[in-house]
Amino acid sequence: MISSLIMTDDFKPDNDSKIKKTKLNMLKKHFVNIENEEIAKLRKILDSVDCVVIGAGAGLSASAGFSYTGERFKKYFSDFEAKYHFHDMYSGGFADFCSLEENWAYWSRYIYINRYMDAPLPVYEKLFELLRGKDYFAITTNVDHCFQKAGFDKKRLFYTQGDYGLFQCCVPCHKKTYDNEEAVKKMLVSQGFGFEENANGKNGGLVFLRNPLKMEIPPELVPRCPVCGKPMSMNLRCDETFVEDDGWHEAAKRYQDFLEEHKNAKTIFLELGVGGNTPGIIKYPFWNLTYKNKNAFYASVNMEKEEIPAEIKARSVLIKGDIFRTIENLI
């Protein structure tokens, strides 16, 4: 009796596998339908609002292909990985290098591929296309300059955490930053890199002209403060030495002025790839601004599940999915 029951179709392993697969496909279809509904809702809101405030986090640049691990890391930093045993660019930024010459060999590669080279995927360009003709402002914790490279107006951007393209005094002895493009290129050439030609006038990729690459730059290329002579450092908000220069304060004021000017306008606060590391910069203010302005909407596109306050839930759109695909579906 038992054996005959086991051998019925309902209890055969193959049939059980088919049932599981069918249920999984139904579940996937259910979530796709929910995502499509949310995208349609977001598109309708974007068409109806007077202005858009963008809040961009690391997830937006990750969607553009700026990976700090894996193949992209190994391509440019395998020599440093072998010597110092870190396995991603971020960890390498905290390595205890043997000398300033070695430190800047590492950082010059890091800066160039994440600041001066184009992103692998045109996510920012698609976002610019989506916002064409709209009144917008963007605040971002990203430091890779992708907004400006995609055509966004510099006067409508606020980079809160710095810029890979800027040096500052490590002390700092004064509140000024310095463009680093030419200095970085000289460091790369000294290690054995060349540059691909780019027809559109933008910086091309790196070419490996020497094998192995040098892991140090000449002492004379180490950037030093023109005021006190101490070494330069990156203009990144890592600690209390971060320089908020005149440009930073001007951008902060333009952002606050934009918010004040549109405080009662029909606005969408569009959050793209913002995680939980620094919620006080974008996420919490966006929630608060949405709550205060009854004409405002809040939207989040992220690979992670989002939890929001109940007070703004009725005026919110949450999309758990790839930002690039979502933006393409919105255009």
Give 56's strand partners: 140, 272
Give the chain's domains with CATH numbers.
Answer: 49-66+121-162+244-331 (3.40.50.1220)
> What is the 3 state secondary structure string of the chain?
CHHHHHCCHHHCHHHHHHHHHHHHHHHHHHHHHHHHHHHHHHHHHHHHCCEEEEEECHHHHHHCCCCCCHHHHHHHHHHHHHHHCCCCHHHHCCCCCCCHHHHHHHHHHHHHHHHHCCCCCCHHHHHHHHCCCCEEEEEECCCCCHHHHCCCCHHHEEECCEEEEEEEECCCCCCCEEECHHHHHHHHHHHCEEECCCCCCCCCCEEECCCCCCCCCCHHHCCECCCCCCEEEEEECCCCCCCCCHHHHHHHHHHHHHHHHCCCCCEEEEEECCCCCCCCCCHHHHHHHHHHCCCCEEEEEECCCCCCCHHHHHHEEEEECCHHHHHHHHC
Supply the pLDDT for residue 197.
Answer: 82
Supply the pLDDT for residue 14.
Answer: 56
The reported pTM is 0.88
pLDDT of the chain along its 331 residues, tens only? 333 333 344 434 456 666 555 545 544 444 445 578 999 999 999 999 999 999 999 999 999 999 999 999 999 999 999 999 999 999 999 999 999 999 999 999 999 999 999 999 999 999 999 999 999 999 999 999 999 999 999 999 999 999 999 999 999 999 999 999 999 999 999 999 999 987 676 788 999 999 999 999 999 999 999 999 999 999 999 999 999 999 999 999 999 999 999 999 999 999 999 999 899 999 999 999 999 999 999 999 999 888 999 999 999 999 999 999 999 999 9
Distances (CA, A) of 132 to 115, 136, 153: 24, 9, 11
Supply the pLDDT for residue 173.
Answer: 98
Supply the pLDDT for residue 22.
Answer: 53
Supply the pLDDT for residue 15.
Answer: 60
